[in-house]
Chain A
Amino acid sequence: MTALRALVALAVVALATVLQVSLFPHFAWDGIVPNLALLVVVGAALVRGPQFAATLGFVAGVLIDLAPPADHIAGRWALALVVVGYLAGRARQDTRPTAIATVLTVAAASFVGTSIFALSGLLLHDPVVGVGEMLEVILVALVWDVLLTPFVLPPVMLLFHRLEPAQVAYR
């Protein structure tokens, strides 16, 4: 059952990765697309807490780093999404998050995630772009992620609720 749960989570993340590169480029603004994998990780964090979300973030990041069009140094998105998953999980409230809290968490997560990726690029001299350009990309990505939140987060959170082991009720 645990293996099945892990498999479903993996499938969701893989689907997000594929849609991000194969579907959303048709709507991309300046090549920037909504970061679906990040949204899934935030959804998981809001439902399941930091430990699960950080692990899922690692898996999602590795997939983004390795799946075909990627040519940057592998591990950079993994690093960004582990931190995002952990922080978003820490920010989780005990009650069901309100819509505004969810949107704010996504905005913060998107900013932190893309920034970590961009900064790791600066440190590793991976791509050579200016800081101004970088900020622009980070902000556009943030707007995209917030725009997609109402469509992606509710089903993702519902799914992770269903997948949650029954520990809360029976422990």
Chain B
Amino acid sequence: MEHRWKGSDGREKDNRPSRSVLIALLLACATMITLDAHGGQDSPVEPARRVAGEAFGPVETFTADVVRPFAAIPDYFGTRKNLRKEVSALEAENAELRRSVETSGLDRNRLAEYDGLTRAASDAGHDLVPAHVIAVGAGQSFSHTVTIDAGTDAGLHADMTVLNNDGLVGRVVRVTRTTATVVLIVDAESVVGGRLASSMEIGFLSGRGVIDGTGRLDLDLMDDSVVANAGDVVTTWGSKAGTPYVGGIPIGRVVSVINSPRETSRRAVIEPFVDFTSLDLVGVVVPRGATSDRDVVRAGEGDD
């Protein structure tokens, strides 16, 4: 009993300081937001971010390493039936691929010739620094970013291309010594230069800010007379010196085309090849011969 009214008595007295603390904290938040909103790339908050990154990076790496084996447990329970189904699907796909390879021998040879030419001319091919995803930004933050466990020690810096086995993942925006923050291409603020593989037409791909479901990217073609067809593959067209995106990386497939009279260009909806809900191993494109703290996948050795 005594507890109670003494406690509430104390609270009445606490009321005023608690309000001034609230106001002070709100002002601090407002200051921080203002500083960061107007600063852009060289905002005063950036050093603080870096410090936080240096401190949290190793902890996140450790947590992710502990969690990873447990996250793989559901995979052990694939039933016989599922595995059979998967095998038959793969066999069908294999047969299909083999047929297309056999029929396109001539095309392939010619392509190899052209490829060799361009490679000799511009020294294409890139080295990849392998990295694991160690942290994923919360969906309720409305931005789609992940942290990977490679940083400046591995030879990374901002504006590098990140990809995985399936295609383009995103680009590096910020690095610390041991980690790097990657903005995914599905993020609402991400824009990638894309090229339709069928017609070589170029356009810009922007994310919709959705990580799941189909059609997570929009493609605006520069030339409005060109029509994208469902099933067309979109790749990056790359920019000067490969920053932030190197060219020729597959991004996704056209699933539908939206035609609205209000928009001058036709908008195509793209389904990315990468499954963003289960990102793990990724590669960061680094210049040839870059020094790194880990084994770099050299161009021409592995399948990049």
Contacts and interface: CB of A to CB of B under 8 A. Distances in A.
Interface of A: 14, 17-23, 25-26, 28, 30-33, 35, 49-51, 54-55, 57-58, 61-79, 82-83, 86, 89, 94-95, 114, 117-118, 120-121, 124, 126-129, 133-134, 137-138, 140-141, 167-169, 171
Given A31-B136, A69-B181, A127 B30 contact: no
B110 interface: no
Contact of A51 (B6, B21, B136, B277): B21
Interface residues of B, number: 65
B87 interface: no
A34 to B, nearest CB: 9
Nearest to B60: A22
A54 B22 contact: yes
A35 B140 contact: yes
What's the dominant secondary structure at chain B's contact region?
helix
Most buried by B among A66, A76, A95: A66
Interface of B: 3-4, 6-8, 10-11, 14, 17-18, 21-22, 25-26, 28-33, 35-37, 45, 48-49, 51-53, 56-57, 59-60, 63-64, 67, 71, 134-147, 173-174, 176, 179, 181, 183, 187-189, 209-212, 277
Contact of A23 (B26, B29, B49, B67): B67
Given A51-B18, A73-B33, A75-B30, 8 more contacts: A18-B56, A22-B63, A28-B277, A30-B212, A71-B183, A120-B33, A127-B187, A168-B10
B300 to A, nearest CB: 33
A74 B32 contact: yes
A168 B26 CA distance: 28
Contacts of A74: 32-33, 35-36, 45, 48-49
